[in-house]
Amino acid sequence: MFQAIIKRLVGALPALFGVIVVTFILTRALPGDPAAYFAGPAGSQEAIEEVRAKLGLDRSLPEQFVLYLRDLARGDWGYSLTTGQPVLTELAERLPASLELTLVGLVLAVIIAIPLGVLAATRPGSWIDHLCRGITTAGVSLPTFFTGLLLAYVFYFLLGWAPSPLGRLDPYTTAPDFVTGFYLIDSLLAGDGETFVAAASQLALPAITLALFVLAPLARMTRASMLGVLSADFIRTARASGLHPFKVLFTYAFRNALLPVLTTLGMVFSFLLGSNVLVEKVFAWPGIGSFAIEALVASDYAPVQGFVLAMALLYVLLNLLIDVAYGLVDPRARLEA
Amino acid sequence: MSPTGKTLLEVDRLAVEFRTRSGTVRALEDVSLALAEGETVGLVGESGSGKSVLSFAAMGIQDPAARITAGSLRFAGQDLLAGKGAAMKALRGREMAMIFQNPRVALNPIRPVGKQIEDVLARHTDLHPAARRARAVECLAEVRIPDPERRYAAYPFELSGGMCQRVMIAIALACKPRLLIADEPTTGLDVTTQAAIMRLISELSAERRMATLLITHDLGLAREYCDRIAVMHAGHIVEVGPTAGLFAAPRHPYTERLIAATPVGANSLDELAAIDGNLPDLRRDDLPACRFAERCPQRAAVCDAPLALLPAEGSHRVACHLPRKVAHSLERKHVASA
């Protein structure tokens, strides 16, 4: 098993190299000149050239690429020109914010979508089946930035139930001591209930926004998969053996239906990482998505490259995790060394 | 057949209908069949004749669209349809068990086979977990699975089709049922495995004096293993009788043609007679009294009259107004006096 995981990770290296090449070329191909940007609107031609030379942008592209690779190999992801901080430090500081948001959104979606899909499949044509269909249709047709704005408008502006959508904590609360970077967990570890509530209430709206977005594919897949499994031969065998209906539904049907749901889960998690960028912008969430957008606007190459590379690494790890989970459920899919 | 045996399963004038969008399918009508303790009865007929519908109804695992509209089902004198199927629920898997065709897909693909046996034991017995495990291994040994201790942890995909069918038999027999319904148990297995599985079923049935209902479209199989045969056509039982008598002198034209359509020994394909026509559409409102009439070469005016299973000879009964005459003078007297 351990060996298989190592093998998978090594197998992902070519893909990662591809990501490095493509982001390098794409960032260079983007319109905008970082040297001109950082020299400022008043910068003379001379000043611009000076900045260009300082950034190493006066060299040929292959030369720049080799230098970039050399730095990466040393663990140096470059500096953000806007903040002056190393990219790696910036990403490490912001990643927990994004992950916390994504994971809470995902867990919320799973908690709602899977029971909904199972109930809809066991009672086709019932009101819960129609509810499931309604929610999934609404979920796929509403873009996240729209649901985000709508939720903020209704629950913050109109009803005043939610705090102002400005980041992870209101200005009067201090962040808990860093342990995991997840405020919910860190505040609990610190035994600070007040901070926990503050963090949770800030998190609620963006997490619900993300959850609504991924609810649809999860619920639909759960329903379809359960329907398929419930008509399988082995379910009939289980019924003929007189097994309790709950046993048939959960141990026999649900565990088998879980396989395509897991695959979908992996896919929607990747969608979430992508759509985070917009949701973070709407809720002023200090995650890596909003960081990347700011860098992109400023033609700040290193953070953009770093962001894409970090995402690619996350994808690789995520896919591995899904494969391992798949193997736990299905003995036929166990990773072979 | 053991004529002295007490009746175990009694199907009496059973009717099952399926409500579908395109009309009501009268899948079973006026079906009566009894199984005595220790007896093996073959239920034969072409696909769609209602063999499986009958067995699923007997087990109470019919499709949600199916409705039992008339008749009764009794097991050892107990009404199976009583209390919204509560009676059936108590017996299913314990007193009456069923095995299916295509064993590879009829087992849970992601659960070790031993665990699947344990699930049944957990449901129907008070054994504690360790005893349950031991009993599950024992069940595997009883169906002659070599190295049962190791096979306990195997998944269905790691076993051959024949092994999977043995596992399914082990699941069915785990609680020592008094009735086994085998629905085409050898379909999807290769010929040598078929023989081994059939031998196993008949040995176990004999050992435990277990009544066995063998559903098959393979007449050769039915002839070899069954005490009695019931022939189904389009939701009716058209003929039922002791195996030897039924094969020697089939009374119903459908049975006769079914036998003629079965390859025996060195028959060449040309000698096999296909049965003309198809099963009638069971959604029709104008189904004839004899559902075979429209395919029958000897149809006559009398065939439109109401029909029931009538004694032909001894326990041999046939649902036909013009049963095939048997040349034997004694038998003719029998028919006349009946």
| Nearest CA-CA partner of B308 in B237, B220, B219 | B237
Q: What domain count does chain A have?
A: 2
The residue from A76, A107, A131 where one domain ends is A76
Out of B89, B105, B111, name the one closest to residue A242 (CB): B89
Cβ distance B120 to A241 less than 8 Å, yes or no, reads yes
Q: State the count of interchain CB pairs (< 8 A) between A and B.
A: 73
- Strand ranges in chain B using DSSP code E only, listed in sequence order: 7-20, 23-36, 40-44, 66-75, 78-79, 96-99, 179-183, 211-215, 228-233, 236-242, 310-313, 316-318
A326 → chain B, closest CA residue: B110
Q: Is B28 exposed, middle or buried (0-12, 13-18, 19+ CB in 10 A)?
A: buried
Specify the CATH number for the domain of residue A206.
1.10.3720.10
Contacts with A256 from chain B: Cβ below 8 Å: 108-110
The pLDDT value recorded for residue A126 is 87
Tokens linked to A168: 């992870």
Structural domain of A72: 35-76
> Tell me: the pLDDT tens digits for B60-87?
888 888 899 999 999 988 898 887 778 8
Beta carbons of B53 and B67 less than 8 angstroms apart: no
> Residue A132 and residue B33: Cα distance in Å, rounded?
45
The pLDDT value recorded for residue B271 is 72
Tokens linked to B45: 């007929």
Distances (CA, A) of A261 to A4, A257, A325, B120, B271: 23, 7, 11, 28, 54
3-state secondary structure labels for all residues of A25-75: HHHHHCCCCHHHHHHCCCCCHHHHHHHHHHHCCCCCHHHHHHHHHHHHHCC
Contacts with A255 from chain B: Cβ below 8 Å: 110-111
B152 to chain A nearest CA, in Å?
A: 15
Beta carbons of B311 and B338 less than 8 angstroms apart: yes
- pLDDT of A248 higher than 90: yes
Is there a single domain that holds both residue A65 and residue A171? no
- pLDDT of A243 higher than 60: yes
- Count other Cβ atoms within 10 Å, centred on residue A21: 12
Beta carbons of B36 and B42 less than 8 angstroms apart: no
Can you tell me the mean pLDDT for A187-213?
85
Beta carbons of B95 and B60 less than 8 angstroms apart: no
What is the rounded average pLDDT for all residues in chain A? 84
3-class SS of residue A319: helix
Can you tell me the mean pLDDT for B293-319?
83
Segments in B226-298 forming alpha helices (H): 243-248, 253-260
Is there a single domain that holds both residue A209 and residue A71? no
> Tell me: the pLDDT tens digits for A151-185?
888 888 888 787 877 777 777 777 777 778 788 88
Q: How far apart are the first and last CA of chain B?
A: 22
The sign of the torsion formed by the CA atoms of A24, A25, A30, A32 equals positive
Is there a single domain that holds both residue A123 and residue A64? no
Beta carbons of B145 and B151 less than 8 angstroms apart: yes
Chain A residues whose C-beta sits inside 8 Å of any chain B C-beta: 232-234, 236-244, 247, 251-252, 255-256, 329-332
> Residue A301 and residue A77: Cα distance in Å, rounded?
11
> Tell me: the pLDDT tens digits for A115-130?
999 999 988 888 989 9
Contacts with B100 from chain A: Cβ below 8 Å: 233, 236-237, 240
Cβ distance A241 to B172 less than 8 Å, yes or no, reads yes
The pLDDT value recorded for residue B333 is 42
What is the rounded average pLDDT for all residues in chain B? 86
| Report for A195-204, B187-196, B201-210: range of highest mean pLDDT | B201-210
Tokens linked to B313: 């000879």
Greatest Cα pair distance in chain A: 86
Distance of CA B282 to the CA centre of its chain: 21
| Nearest CA-CA partner of A76 in A89, A95, A94, A64 | A89
- pLDDT of B329 higher than 50: no
**Length of chain B as a residue count:** 338
Rg, chain B, Cα only:
21
Q: What are the residue ranges spanned by the domains of chain B? A: 7-95+175-337, 96-174
Can you tell me the mean pLDDT for A274-300?
83
Can you tell me the mean pLDDT for A198-227?
89
| Nearest CA-CA partner of A232 in A216, A265, A264, A255 | A255
Cβ distance A332 to B61 less than 8 Å, yes or no, reads no
**A39: confidence class by pLDDT, cuts 50, 70, 90:** confident
B115 → chain A, closest CA residue: A251
3-class SS of residue A279: helix
| Nearest CA-CA partner of B210 in B202, B199, B200, B222 | B202
Can you tell me the mean pLDDT for A212-221?
90
**B97: confidence class by pLDDT, cuts 50, 70, 90:** very high
Asked if residue A21 belongs to a domain, the reply is: no
3-class SS of residue A91: helix
Is there a single domain that holds both residue A176 and residue A40? no
Can you tell me the mean pLDDT for B114-141?
93
Cβ distance B119 to A240 less than 8 Å, yes or no, reads no
The pLDDT value recorded for residue B280 is 84
Cβ distance A243 to B119 less than 8 Å, yes or no, reads yes
**B267: confidence class by pLDDT, cuts 50, 70, 90:** low
The pLDDT value recorded for residue A90 is 85
**B334: confidence class by pLDDT, cuts 50, 70, 90:** very low
Can you tell me the mean pLDDT for B127-144?
93
Asked if residue A8 belongs to a domain, the reply is: no
Asked if residue A3 belongs to a domain, the reply is: no
Interface probe, candidates A126, A229, A231, A234, chain B, greatest B C-beta count within 10 A: A234
> Residue B99 and residue B201: Cα distance in Å, rounded?
10
Is there a single domain that holds both residue A276 and residue A306? yes
- pLDDT of B131 higher than 50: yes
Asked if residue A59 belongs to a domain, the reply is: yes
Is there a single domain that holds both residue A144 and residue A212? yes
| Nearest CA-CA partner of A121 in A265, A221, A268 | A221
Rg, chain A, Cα only:
24
B100 → chain A, closest CA residue: A237
Rounding to the nearest 10 degrees, give the CA dihedral for residues A190, A196, A198, A200. Answer: 150
More confident residue, B119 or A84: B119
Tokens linked to A84: 């002056």
Interface probe, candidates A227, A230, A231, A237, chain B, greatest B C-beta count within 10 A: A237
In our burial notation (b when 16+ CB lie closer than 10 A, e otherwise), range A149-180 reads eebbeebbeeeeebbebebbbeeebeebeeee
**A237: confidence class by pLDDT, cuts 50, 70, 90:** very high
Contacts with B62 from chain A: Cβ below 8 Å: none
Asked if residue A186 belongs to a domain, the reply is: yes
Distance of CA B227 to the CA centre of its chain: 13
The pLDDT value recorded for residue A285 is 85
Instruction: Report percent pLDDT > 90 for chain B.
Output: 49
> Residue A316 and residue B170: Cα distance in Å, rounded?
44
Region of residue A220 (left: phi > 0; alpha: psi -120 to 50; beta: else): alpha
A240 to chain B nearest CA, in Å?
A: 6
State which amino acid sits at residue B293. A
- Count other Cβ atoms within 10 Å, centred on residue B203: 11
- pLDDT of B299 higher than 50: yes
| Nearest CA-CA partner of B69 in B103, B116, B112, B19 | B19
Given this structure, which CATH class describes domain B7-95+175-337? alpha beta
Contacts with B92 from chain A: Cβ below 8 Å: 239-242
The residue from A76, A105, A137 where one domain ends is A76
Out of B92, B100, B106, name the one closest to residue A242 (CB): B92
Is there a single domain that holds both residue A244 and residue A300? yes
Residue with tokens 């043995």: B166
Can you tell me the mean pLDDT for B11-29?
90
Is there a single domain that holds both residue A96 and residue A241? yes
**A335: confidence class by pLDDT, cuts 50, 70, 90:** low
The pLDDT value recorded for residue A97 is 87
Cβ distance A244 to B123 less than 8 Å, yes or no, reads yes
Is there a single domain that holds both residue A192 and residue A265? yes
β-strand B179-183 against B211-215: which pairing, if any? parallel
Enumerate residues 6+ apart whose C-beta is below 8 A from B119: A238, A241, A243, A247, A251, B111
